[in-house]
Amino acid sequence: MNLDGAPVLDEAVLAELRASIGDDQEFMVELVETYVAEGATNMDGLLAAATAQDCAAIIRPAHTLKSTSASLGAMRLSAICRAIEEAGRQSRPDTLREDAELARATWEATLTAFAEAGLRA
């Protein structure tokens, strides 16, 4: 998996999103809160599907995490989830566990980065 140039949190994406919503800090915090809640559920689903090596079941949580992470600038997690979704669609279960473990660690790093960016209490 090539993660070169995929930062945990892309400040530029975040800045663009912030600008597009009128620099509303309260909304940004609320959005990250939603992302964390939704992401946690999807991470659970993704890990469970990886443990079971269930290619079909891993597609949706990977897909949603890929897309919402990209929206909020969590580019590294988005890239990992894209690879997992792809593997799921191609029915390649062999790397699922390893990739899911990477996703989990990146998820933690992403939460920390959001906190450091002042977007999590």
27 closest CA partner among 18, 36, 35, 37: 18
Is the CB of 63 or the CB of 104 nearer to another protein? 63
The packing angle between helices 96-116 and 75-89, to 10°, is 160
- Where helices occur in 1-95 by DSSP H, the ranges are 11-20, 25-51, 55-71, 75-89
Residue 27 binding another protein, by CB under 8 A: yes
Is the CB of 50 or the CB of 59 nearer to another protein? 59
Which of these segments, 32-40, 46-54, 90-98, 108-116, binds another protein (CB under 8 A)?
A: 32-40
Residue 13 binding another protein, by CB under 8 A: yes
Q: Tell me which residues in 35-54 interact with another protein (CB under 8 A).
A: 35, 37-38
Residue 12 binding another protein, by CB under 8 A: no
Cβ-proximal residues to 98 (8 Å cutoff; 6+ apart), any chain = none
The amino acid sitting at 4 is D
Which of these segments, 28-36, 50-58, 97-105, 109-117, binds another protein (CB under 8 A)?
A: 28-36
**Within 13 Å, how many C-alpha atoms sit on residue 113's CB side?**
19
Q: Give residue for tokens 């191609």.
A: 90
Residue 71 binding another protein, by CB under 8 A: yes
Q: Binding another protein by CB under 8 A: which of 1, 3, 57, 60?
A: 60
Is the CB of 12 or the CB of 52 nearer to another protein? 12
